[in-house]
Amino acid sequence: MGDRVVILDRDGVINEDSEQFVKSIDEWIPLPGSIDAIARLSHAGYRVAVATNQSGLARGLLTLADLDGMHRKLRDLLAEQGGRIEMIVYCPHGPDEGCGCRKPRPGMLEEIGRRLSVDLAGIPFVGDSLGDIAAARAVGAKPWMVRTGKGEDTLASRSPHLAGVAVRDDLASVVDAILHD
């Protein structure tokens, strides 16, 4: 049980998503219950990692300093509740750059598996988009969908990729399910 890991998408799972991109610390707003949910994972002995597409960097909409600031805000809020995120991996590329890290490609999840020395088979990956589901499946992780962020729209797409995916209202509900497994 030493290798219990949960991987999270960021925008739409931990914090409010925006069609205009989340570009600043002030625009980084945690979703209700998400910080507490991550802290509960920490307290239960889970290692938590984040894998997030941040093409706003390639688009010039935010800087690495902005991104660092957001992640400091996340870590500070979490620390207040005794929680911790072990690793945040981001893809800075645009959709047309053909990188291996931008979800739906699995590069970020593979990097997390490597750096945490953990087998990703069956590891929960919580997301709100089809790209998250595809990336999870590509590494044998277990995809979970939330209805927050782009989640409702993703579910409304009725994509065949949704078949067999566990769905919950939000991250807090996913964590409830993981911890009661």
Residues annotated catalytic, as ranges: 9, 11
Taking the C-alpha atoms of residue 81 and residue 36, their distance in angstroms, rounded to an integer, is 7
Q: Tell me: does residue 128 bind Mg ion (CB under 5 A).
A: yes
Q: Tell me: does residue 170 bind Mg ion (CB under 5 A).
A: no
- The distance from CA 28 to its chain's CA centroid, rounded to whole angstroms, is 14
Which DSSP string do the residues of 38-100 spell out, in sequence order? HHHHHHTT-EEEEEEE-TTTTTTSS-HHHHHHHHHHHHHHHHHTT----EEEEE---TTS--S
Q: Tell me: does residue 9 bind Mg ion (CB under 5 A).
A: yes
Contact segment (CB under 5 A) with Mg ion among 5-13, 28-36, 102-110, 135-143 equals 5-13
Contact segment (CB under 5 A) with Mg ion among 62-70, 111-119, 121-129, 161-169 equals 121-129
Q: Which is nearer to Mg ion, 113 or 149 (CB)?
A: 149
> Which of Mg ion, Zn ion, none binds 102 (CB below 5-8 Å, type-dependent)?
Zn ion
Q: Which is nearer to Mg ion, 110 or 132 (CB)?
A: 132
Q: In whole angstroms, how close is the CB of 170 to Mg ion at the nearest point?
A: 13
* Nearest in space to 59 (alpha carbons), one of 30, 91, 28: 91
Q: Which is nearer to Zn ion, 102 or 168 (CB)?
A: 102
Q: Which residues contact 117 (CB under 8 A, 6 or more apart)?
A: none
Contact segment (CB under 5 A) with Zn ion among 76-84, 92-100, 109-117, 163-171 equals 92-100
Of the candidate residues 10, 47, 71, 102, the single one contacting Zn ion (CB under 5 A): 102
Instruction: Respond yes or no on whether the N-terminal peptide bond of residue 92 is cis (omega within 30° of 0).
Output: no
Q: Tell me: does residue 151 bind Mg ion (CB under 5 A).
A: no
Taking the C-alpha atoms of residue 71 and residue 135, their distance in angstroms, rounded to an integer, is 22
Q: Site size for Zn ion, by CB under 5 A?
A: 5
Q: Which is nearer to Mg ion, 3 or 153 (CB)?
A: 153
Helix, strand, coil percentages for the chain (3-state, nearest 5): 35, 15, 50
Task: Name the residues that contact Mg ion, by CB under 5 A.
Answer: 9, 11-12, 128
